[in-house]
Structure 1
């Protein structure tokens, strides 16, 4: 089985949107954006909206978490993948399912009542913190960074 060429895995609860989709895709040189999300996999309207903000140089795929786990290893080496998920929990499901994720870019996790804000764009509740601790134990590097040209920091240093 081949190892998929995953350039970056990003957690963003808006998934692909506006400049962010464009900026990360271009900076990484990704030519395939895989959105692993159970709801969006079934939702053409959301898929079309996301496609609109991706550069022409990148293709997109919208898979459920299960399907991503099942088929990502079939990706060709020339497919340079930006993998995007909505939640830390989905990221953990991918890692536990055997997707070779070494590093996660923690982009946007919205603030809500009872969450601890660790950066302007990332707020975590107990469940998120527990999930990130598990990912950390599994050897995944966790970097908080909204856009490519800002300096990031290690998520574990803040929780």
Structure 2
């Protein structure tokens, strides 16, 4: 049996918003958005707000990291999955947990105190850099781009 049909994994601390819910979903041809994040999986208000952004024909699931690791391999081949995580640490946990991630779109990591800005939409600290290095060691392609038609950059060249 083949693995789940994950079209793309995106790191975006905003999770589902207009750019993700419309632009990326349409570009990828996804019919299911899986948000993997422990806090969001239990936040009904945030889930319903994100659902409002998605077109009616697109389904969304909100799973904890553990549940994502446990159920992703049970996905139907008909499910064209766009996997969205809040940060690089969630992405690394999924990869190390056996989720078949070979390509990550790094879309948005907000600036916070103690982080350095490496692009207009991505800021990192030492823990983030270590997680990106680990993903790189695991042969995950790390492509920084905001929208599909933008030319991507390998984030490892910016760290």
| TM-score for the superposition, normalised by structure 2 | 0.97
Deviations 1:76-127 (A, max 9, x none): 1110000000010010000000000000000000012221211100000000
The correspondence of residues 28-47 of structure 1 with structure 2, limited to 5 A, is 28-47=28-47
Provide the C-alpha distance between the structure 2 equivalents of 1:32 and 1:133, rounded to a whole number of angstroms.
29
Alignment of 1:17-36 (within 5 A): 17-36=17-36
Instruction: Answer yes or no: is 1:130 the counterpart of 2:137.
Output: no
Residue aligned with 1:30, SS: coil
Determine the C-alpha separation between the residues in 2 that align with 1:80 and 1:108: 22
Q: Distance in 2 between matches of 1:42 and 1:112?
A: 24
Query: Paired residue for 2:53?
Result: 53
TM-score (norm 1): 0.97
Residues in 1 aligned to 2:121 and 2:12: alpha-carbon distance in whole angstroms: 10
Contact 2:19 2:147 (8 Å CA) reproduced: no
Matched with 2:4 is 4
Segments of 4+ in structure 1 off by > 6 A?
none
Find out whether 1:66 has 2:58 as its counterpart.
no
**Count of residues in correspondence between the two structures:** 159
Q: Which deviates more from structure 2 when the two are superposed, residues 18-27 or residues 94-103?
A: 18-27
- Structure 2 residue runs without a partner (length 5+): none
Aligned partners of 1:88 and 1:128 also within 8 Å: yes
Alpha-carbon shift at residue 44 of structure 1 (Å): 1.1
